């Protein structure tokens, strides 16, 4: 069975792919910067005994990791689904 979506059927699909790629890059850069800043805040607040701020820093680290995993994992998952669809 040769059923596969026709991505070239829509006009401007190349522009849409470029925009999505740029947004993905932007999300990953912001996630890495957020991870760095949150880790620094977490470390400094823990060293000085400010546990409420350390908790917020830890939350920031987890949110940044989650955003990076979702952004990168979404692309990998979509590529896997497309390759699976080609095999059927």
Amino acid 86: pLDDT = 76
Residue 17 has pLDDT above 70, yes or no: yes
Q: Measuring CA to CA, which residue among 31, 21, 20 is closest to residue 67?
A: 31
Burial class from Cβ neighbours inside 10 Å (0-12, 13-18, 19+) for residue 57 reads buried
Query: Each residue of 57-71: pLDDT tens digit?
Result: 999 999 999 999 998
Amino acid 20: pLDDT = 82
Alpha-carbon distance of 64 to 31, in angstroms, equals: 5
pTM: 0.73
Residue 72 has pLDDT above 90, yes or no: no
């Amino acid at each position: 069975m040769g059923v596969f979506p026709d991505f070239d059927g829509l006009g401007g699909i190349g522009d849409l792919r470029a925009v999505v790629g740029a947004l993905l890059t932007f999300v990953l850069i912001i996630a890495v910067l957020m991870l760095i800043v949150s880790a620094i805040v977490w470390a400094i607040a823990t060293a000085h005994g400010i546990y409420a701020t350390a908790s917020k820093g830890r939350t920031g680290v987890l949110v940044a990791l989650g955003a990076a995993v979702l952004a990168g994992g979404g692309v990998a998952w979509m590529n896997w689904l497309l390759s699976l669809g080609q095999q059927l």
